[in-house]
Amino acid sequence: MIRAALVLCAALCLSAACNRDPPPPPPAVPAPATSGSSSALADDTAELRFPAPRRLVAIGDIHGDLAAARRALRIAGAIDDADKWIGGDLVLVQTGDRIDRGNEDRAVLDLFERLADEAKAAGGTVHALNGNHELMNVAGDFRYVSRPAFEEFAGLGPGIAGSDPNILRFPEPYRPRAAAFAPGGTYARKLAARGVVAIVGDSVFVHGGVSPAHVRHGLGRANREVRAWLEGASGPPPSVVTSDDGLVWTRRYSERPTPKDCADLGEVLDLLGAKRLVVGHTVQKDGITEGCGGKVWRVDVGMSAFYGGKTEVLEIVGSNLRRLGETPK
């Protein structure tokens, strides 16, 4: 629940339109359309394609709950009781929203940063994608940040954003986090190393969803535009990322997809040469679900204490998909 002080913070920093959920997107960055040719598509997606691993595990939204993150990672076979990587050549994809709503945002982000290094050294990979809540924080939207999650950042210096008027508009206790997540800030740069879309083998991973319009815009291009913004090198990312039907916000495949939605998803997968889309963002109260004849798998199971859901992950080994998990006691 948002505390009174946080409401004050939002009032100081955000426009009246922030009462909407989701908030209005940042202005789009104009750019010419892509050609749509197969060669152009291959070139655009090359940077976000990774080979099929021996074993692949997908984890959904964590929302600042370190205990939930640990449970999911242990179920995945990624870490031991000391939180050290034991996954070997395991490839792990976390589909975004590691932060907000819970009290341990910084601890969760730092855990995934460390595990990415440990996995690489062991021959594995951690792809921790950016969801709408990561991007909301970079945009200065802290409506879903708890007081303890603000206090986690108290030890950080102001950094390059410390004299930014947009940071100084926040009440003093909130400025270290605001500076850390501002474009070019310490944690924004960490997020810049993470994409919004990844294709691993024949599976496409994203927080919200991918439509034919997103593919025509260019998924690699969208990743680059978000990265440039996070690094402080450009303005906000385009509406194909941040609008209600953007890559990190859309729920068209997660709630009640229509035949048209499933047909569009089939077109996306054909264009990308993939078999399935794996998404987070929309809580599946009874655990991981699939839709559109197995073309979409939804891995946000509300595992954080805020939602009180299951802890469940999706394992992909070749063409075999399996739900692994447990219900918290």
Residues acting as catalytic residues: 133
Sign of CA dihedral 317, 108, 176, 144: positive
Q: Per DSSP, what are the bridge partners of residue 215?
A: none
Q: Per DSSP, what are the bridge partners of residue 58?
A: 93, 314
CB 96 within 8 A of CB 240: no
Question: Token digits for 296?
Answer: 């979409």
Long-range contacts of 252-259 (CB under 8 A, 24+ apart): 252/209, 252/211, 253/209, 253/277, 253/279, 253/291, 253/292, 253/296, 253/298, 254/208, 254/209, 254/279, 254/281, 254/282, 254/284, 254/291, 254/296, 254/298, 254/300, 255/282, 257/291, 257/292, 257/296
